[in-house]
Structure 1
Amino acid sequence: MSTIELKVPDIGDAKDVDVIEVFVKPGDVIKKDDSLITLETDKASMEVPAEVGGTVKEVRLKVGDKASEGTVVVVIEAGASATAPAPAAAPAPQAAAPTPAPAAAPAPAAAGGTIEVKVPDIGDAKNVDVIEVFVKAGDTVKQDDSLITLETDKASMEVPSPAAGVVQSVAIKVGDKASEGTLILTLAAAGAAPVAAAPSPAPAAAAPAPAPAAAASAAVAAPAAVAKVDEASFSKAHGSPSVRKFARELGVDLGKVKGSGPKGRIVASDVQAFVKSVMTGATASPAAAAGGSGVGLDLLPWPKVDFAKFGPIETKPLSRIKKISGANLHRNWVMIPHVTFNEDADITELEDFRKQISKEWEKSGLKLSPLAFIIKAAAEALKAFPEFNASLDGDNLVLKQYYHIGFAADTPNGLVVPVIKDADQKGLKQIAKELTDLSALARDGKLKPTDMQGATFTISSLGGIGGSGFTPIINAPEVAILGVCKSQIKPVWNGSEFTPRLMCPLSLSFDHRVIDGAAAARFTVHLAKLMADIRRLVL
C-alpha cells in the first residue's frame, strides 16, 4: 500500500478558486475518475476527479476554501496496483479565484484552557495592516468565527478563531502591523483542550491595486475624483474584503464613502452610489448610500417592498456566475460611454450557401450555424477598422495584431464568453467545429479559463430566439461588441421592385471615448457587406 496526495491539476491561469462541493470523506473507497470536489470561479465550474483509486485517509479541503493548481485535495492509500498519478488534464475550470487559504498556526493551550491565538502562516507577507478587529474582551466566539482582517496591497484575509470560548484580552487593534506568529488575543477555551486551528478562510480576491490612472488594464478609466486613492484612508475604512476588492477595481477611495451597513460598515451598494455620484457631479446622500441602485441622477434609494403582501413569492439566490458577472456588467455600463448603431445585413445568399454546405457536412455531424459566418466576417472587418480591435490604456490606444472573437454562450448558470482564437486565420469549417465544442463545454460547465481569455471583440447572438435589436454591454477592456438578432424576411427595393430578402439585424455598441459615430456606421455597414456577399471574405 502507498500513500498518495491527489492535487488540483492544471487549471490554466486561475488562482484561489472557490471550493463549492466536497464529495468524499475519510474512509471512503474511491475509484479512478470519481469526483472529489467541485471548483467554481465567476465564469465556470469544474469537478476534480481522482487520478487513482484507493481509500481516503485525509481530506485537506472543505467547502468555502480556496484552491489553486497543486493544492492537495485528499490523501489516499492506494491499492498495490495503483500508480502515482500522472499530471492530470485540466478539468473544466472557472474563473480565477483567490490563493489557497493559509492554515492557522496551531494554538498552544496554556494552563486552565487558555489559548494564545496568533496570526497563522500568511506566506511571505510581513507587517501586514490590521484593518478590522471583530471582537473585544468578554465576547463569546465559536470556532471559525472571524477575529480580525489583514490586508496587503494585493489581498485581504480574515483570521478565524481556532476554537470556541470567551475572549480574555485582545492584543491587537486597527492600524497595527502583524506578521506570522503575532499574538491576536487570549481565549478561554470552552470544554476540553482545543483542537489545532482549522484552515483560515482564503484571502478574498483583491484586485491588484490600480495605478491612480484608474483601471488602465481594464480600459475603464475611472473619473479623476474616484481614481485617486489615499491608501491610509482606504485601510482604515470599515468594509469587507469583497467590498475592498470591488472598490479597488473601480479605483474608489473607501475613506470617502459613507457606509450604510451595521455600525457604519461600507457595503457594495455604497461604493456603487459613490461612483454614480462622482460621475453625475453629485454628492452621495445617505439615502443614496442606503439604496444601491444608482438609478437616476437624484440617486433615490432602492425601494424596499414586502412582495409577499401582494401574493405568493419564491426567493431564489442568483448563481455565483450571475452575481460576479453582474458587478462587472455594472462597472462596464457605468464607466464606459455606450452608443449603439443598428444596421440590417442581407444574408439571403449566405443562408442559401449555409444550407447547401450543412447538407454536405451532415454525415460528419458538423453543424454550420450563421454565427460561424458572422465570426469570420467580424475578423475581416476588424482588420479593415483596427481601432475596433483595440483597448484603451490611459491616454494610449493598444492596437492588437491578433483577432480573437468571443461569443456569448447561454448556460443554466448564466452567460459565459468562450473565445475563438485567431479567427482570421481559420476557415468556416474549423470555426464551426470550435463553436460546437466550446458551446458544449460551456453548457456542461467544463470551460477552462484559457477558453475564455484574450478576446479582442465579442458577439452576442440572440438569433435563435428573436428580437429586432438591443444594446449589448461592452466587455471591458474591449471597445466594441456586436449584438445579433433573429433574421426576418423583409421586402427590399432593388431599384425596380420590392423583393423578399432575409435580413439580419446587427446592433453595434461602441466606446464613444475611442470610436465616433461615423466610424461605427462605416464598420457596421462594411460588416453587413461582407455578410451579404461572402465571396468578399476570400479577397
Structure 2
Amino acid sequence: MAELKEARVPDIGDDKDVPVIELLVQPGDTVKKDQGLVTLESDKATMEVPAPFDGIVRELKVKIGDELSEGSVVALIEPAAAAPAGDAKPVAPPPQPSPASGGGSEVAAKAAIPATPAPATAAPTAAVVETPTRSPPVAFDADALMPGKVPHASPAVRLFARELGVDLAQLSGSARAGRITKEDVQAFVKAALAGGGAPRASGGGGGLDLIPWPKVDFAKFGAIESKPLSRIQKLSGANLARNWAMIPHVTQHDDADITEMEAFRKKGEENKDTKVTPLVFLIKAVVAALKKYPNFNASLDGDNLVLKQYFHIGIAVDTPDGLVVPVIRDADRKGLLELAKELGEISAKARDKKLSSADMQGGCFSISSLGGIGGTGFTPIINAPEVAILGVSRSAMKPVWNGKEFAPRLVLPMSLSYDHRVIDGAAAARFTAYLAQVLGDLRRLLL
C-alpha cells in the first residue's frame, strides 16, 4: 500500500468545534476530488468536508458527534495515482488497450489507457492524467459514488429537511441524477399535511422520525381486559394527536373573580324554565374578548391569517363515548337565556348521539369546562383550525386582598392554550386579563 495522505477540515471561517452529523463515505470507498467525506453542522450552516484529491478512503478518523475545527484530520486517503486499480470498489481493472477495443463500461472508459501505446518510460497512470480518453457525456450517478449511504441532496437541503422532520430517504429527487431539491421537500410536507398518502418515516412517526410504539404482552404481568375504542375516541384521538404534534402550544393561566357574577346568576335561577349555568356567562365574555382581540378569532391558511367576522363558539361536551365539540353559532347575537337554552339542547343531543357533522363545524374558538368535576388548571389542546381554546376548572373561595383586608372571593381558574405561530405571550396575557375583567364586572358586556 502506498503512502496515505490526510484529508483535513479546510478553512471554515470562525467556526470551531463543529459537530459531525453525517458520514458520507466508509473505508474502502473510492472518492473523487471535492466529493464530500463528512457533513458538519454549525449554528450558522451545514457544510461538507471535501476530499482534497482522488483516491481510496483507507481510514476514517472521525465518528458522528465528534467536534472538528479547521485543520482537524477527517480521513486517511490513498491517492489515486498510487492506489492499485483493483482496490477501488466502483472501478473495474482497466482493460488492456487494443485497436479493436470499444472502451468498456462508462467508469472504465474514463480510466482506460489511450489506444496509442505510451512511451515505455511513461507511467500508465501519468498517461491517464495527461491524455484521458474522452467518452460521451453520461448522467452523473450518485449511487456509484455513495452507494446506500445518504440521499443525494445538498447540505442546505438536508438541513431544511431536518428542520421540518422529513426523512430524505423517502423522497425521490426531481433534479438531475435524482438530486433532492428544496422544492421536493416542500412538496412532500404539503402532501403529508393534506393527507395525500405520503409515506411515513422509517421510525413510524409520520415524518417526525419517532421510534416505534412499544409492543408489550400485558397479560404476562396479570389479568387484563381488552376493550375497543369507540368511534368518537378513534376520531377525536387522531385529531388531538395531530393538533398536539403540529401546533406549537403555549398555555396562559389566570384567575377571574366571579363572586358578583355568581350572585347575579343565582338570582336569575328564579326563572325555572331555563337553567343559566356559569358556562353561558363564559360564552358571552369570550365573545367580548374575541371582538377586542380579533387574532384569536382567526385561522391559519398557508401564509395568510383568516380573520373571521362571525362568532361561533365550540363547547366541549363529555359523553360516555368520548369528547365531542358542538358549535353554538352567532353567539354575539344571542342573549343569556337564549344561549342557555341552546347550550342545554346541544348538550342533550351530544349525549343522545344525535349530533350531525354540521353541528360540529364552523367553530371559531372553543371552551372546555371541567368546573363541574374539579382541578385547578390544565392544558387544553387546540381544536384546529382554530388558534386558541379556553379551559376552565372548578371555582373556589380564596382570600383576596382588597387594599384593606383579605376578603373571601369566588375565584375561577382559567387556562388559555394558543397557537404560538399566530399569538405571542403578551397578547395571550392581555386576552385572559380582559376576560377576567369582563367576568368580574358584567357591566363591561354592555359596553
Task: Please tell me the TM-score bracket, short chain as reference.
Answer: 0.5 to 0.7
Within the alignment, does 1:422 sit opposite 2:330 as a pair? yes
User: SS where residue 450 of structure 1 aligns?
Assistant: helix
TM-fit CA distance, 1:392: 0.7
Could you give the per-residue CA deviations for residues 41-87 of structure 1, whole angstroms, max 9, x where no partner exists?
xxxxxxxxxxxxxxxxxxxxxxxxxxxxxxxxxxxxxxxxxxxxxxx
Match for residue 335 of structure 1 among 236, 243, 246: 246
Could you give the per-residue CA deviations for residues 237-281 of structure 1, whole angstroms, max 9, x where no partner exists?
xxxxxxxxx99563577665456xxxxxxxxx82xx14223xxxx
TM-fit CA distance, 1:503: 0.3
Identify if the C-alpha distance between structure 1 residues 258 and 393 changes in structure 2 by more than 3 Å, giving closer, same or farther.
closer
Within the alignment, does 1:514 sit opposite 2:425 as a pair? no
Tell me what 2:207 maps to. 275
Counterparts of residues 63-462 of structure 1 (less than 5 Å): 223=164, 225=166, 250-251=193-194, 257=200, 270=204, 273-277=205-209, 288=211, 291=212, 302-358=213-269, 360-362=270-272, 364=273, 366-462=274-370
User: SS where residue 314 of structure 1 aligns?
Assistant: coil
Q: Distance in 1 between matches of 2:191 and 2:440?
A: 45
Could you give the per-residue CA deviations for residues 464-522 of structure 1, whole angstroms, max 9, x where no partner exists?
00000000000000000000000000000001110000000000000000000000000
User: SS where residue 367 of structure 1 aligns?
Assistant: coil
Q: Distance in 1 between matches of 2:420 and 2:319?
A: 31
TM-fit CA distance, 1:361: 1.0
Q: Distance in 1 between matches of 2:416 and 2:275?
A: 26
Identify if the C-alpha distance between structure 1 residues 479 and 309 changes in structure 2 by more than 3 Å, giving closer, same or farther.
same
User: SS where residue 510 of structure 1 aligns?
Assistant: strand
Could you give the per-residue CA deviations for residues 194-229 of structure 1, whole angstroms, max 9, x where no partner exists?
xxxxxxxxxxxxxxxxxxxxxxxxxxxx948489x9
8 Å CA contact 1:380, 1:537 repeated in 2 = yes
The alignment of Structure 1 onto Structure 2 pairs a total of residues equal to: 270
TM-score, normalised by the number of residues in structure 2: 0.57
What CA RMSD, in Å, does the superposition of the two structures yield over aligned residues? 2.6
Q: Distance in 1 between matches of 2:357 and 2:198?
A: 34
Counterpart of 2:232 in structure 1: which amino acid?
I
Identify if the C-alpha distance between structure 1 residues 349 and 446 changes in structure 2 by more than 3 Å, giving closer, same or farther.
same
Q: Distance in 2 between matches of 1:334 and 1:395?
A: 19
Counterpart of 1:316 in structure 2: which amino acid?
K
Counterpart of 1:529 in structure 2: which amino acid?
Q
Tell me what 2:180 maps to. none
Give 5+ residue unaligned stretches, structure 1: 1-221, 234-245, 260-268, 278-283, 292-301
Identify if the C-alpha distance between structure 1 residues 501 and 333 changes in structure 2 by more than 3 Å, giving closer, same or farther.
same
Counterparts of residues 37-52 of structure 1 (less than 5 Å): none
Query: Identity of aligned pairs, percent?
Result: 63
8 Å CA contact 1:458, 1:480 repeated in 2 = yes
Tell me what 1:464 maps to. 372
* Higher relative helix content: 2
Tell me what 1:534 maps to. 442
Counterpart of 1:515 in structure 2: which amino acid?
I
Q: Distance in 2 between matches of 1:413 and 1:247?
A: 33
User: SS where residue 454 of structure 1 aligns?
Assistant: coil
User: SS where residue 501 of structure 1 aligns?
Assistant: strand
Q: Distance in 1 between matches of 2:430 and 2:377?
A: 18
Give 5+ residue unaligned stretches, structure 2: 1-162, 175-188
* Higher relative strand content: 1
8 Å CA contact 1:226, 1:253 repeated in 2 = no
User: SS where residue 276 of structure 1 aligns?
Assistant: coil
User: SS where residue 208 of structure 2 aligns?
Assistant: helix
Q: Distance in 2 between matches of 1:455 and 1:253?
A: 25
User: SS where residue 275 of structure 1 aligns?
Assistant: coil
Q: Distance in 2 between matches of 1:445 and 1:251?
A: 29
Identify if the C-alpha distance between structure 1 residues 502 and 328 changes in structure 2 by more than 3 Å, giving closer, same or farther.
same
TM-fit CA distance, 1:324: 1.5
Q: Distance in 1 between matches of 2:432 and 2:410?
A: 17
Within the alignment, does 1:488 sit opposite 2:396 as a pair? yes
Q: Distance in 2 between matches of 1:444 and 1:387?
A: 35
User: SS where residue 304 of structure 1 aligns?
Assistant: coil
8 Å CA contact 1:226, 1:252 repeated in 2 = no
Q: Distance in 1 between matches of 2:366 and 2:172?
A: 36
8 Å CA contact 1:230, 1:253 repeated in 2 = no
Could you give the per-residue CA deviations for residues 114-141 of structure 1, whole angstroms, max 9, x where no partner exists?
xxxxxxxxxxxxxxxxxxxxxxxxxxxx
Could you give the per-residue CA deviations for residues 289-325 of structure 1, whole angstroms, max 9, x where no partner exists?
xx2xxxxxxxxxx332222222221110110111121
Q: Distance in 1 between matches of 2:333 and 2:172?
A: 46
Identify if the C-alpha distance between structure 1 residues 499 and 395 changes in structure 2 by more than 3 Å, giving closer, same or farther.
same
User: SS where residue 455 of structure 1 aligns?
Assistant: coil
Q: Distance in 1 between matches of 2:288 and 2:410?
A: 22
Identify if the C-alpha distance between structure 1 residues 385 and 223 changes in structure 2 by more than 3 Å, giving closer, same or farther.
same
Identify if the C-alpha distance between structure 1 residues 412 and 512 changes in structure 2 by more than 3 Å, giving closer, same or farther.
same
Q: Distance in 1 between matches of 2:195 and 2:338?
A: 44
User: SS where residue 507 of structure 1 aligns?
Assistant: strand
